[in-house]
Amino acid sequence: GGGGGAAMAESEALVSVDYEVFGKVQGVFFRKYTQGEAKRLGLVGWVQNTSHGTVQGQIQGPTARVQELQDWLRKIGSPQSRISRAEFSNEKKIEALEHKDFQILK
């Protein structure tokens, strides 16, 4: 925190963050639910299964919305998933969104 006055502008800043979710997250429609939640929040990015049994991707959008999806990836996920942990990396401010929508990559 710190630096008063910029609170509104700050929450509207766009951020990009990479994520990886560990646990039982493949074969449980995790990507489909992640895409649905991201679209509901108005976020863009992508999601894909990895060869080592995790789900990874990138989220871009307003800070507050991105944090909502991060919480969702940490705690909720798809109904049949069992999330052990979610890791986030490369969080940075961006000037503009680099994706048109939220895609499921093969």
Q: What is the pLDDT along the chain (106 residues), one digit of tens a residue?
A: 455 554 555 557 999 999 999 999 999 999 999 999 999 999 999 999 999 999 999 999 999 999 999 999 999 999 999 999 999 999 999 999 999 999 999 8
**Residue 90 and residue 98: Cα distance in Å, rounded?**
15
Would you state the pLDDT for residue 72?
Answer: 98
Write down the catalytic residue from 31, 65, 82, 85: 31
Write down the catalytic residue from 40, 49, 65, 90: 49
Which phi and psi (to 5°) does residue 95 adopt?
-80, -35
| Cα–Cα separations (whole angstroms), residue 9 to 14, 15, 94 | 10, 13, 14
Structural domain spans, the chain: 14-104
Would you state the pLDDT for residue 106?
Answer: 84
Q: Is 49 left (phi over 0), alpha (psi -120 to 50) or beta?
A: beta
31 is catalytic: yes
49 is catalytic: yes
Residue 15 neighbours by CB distance under 10 Å: 17
- The answer regarding whether domain 14-104 maps to CATH 3.30.70.100 reads yes
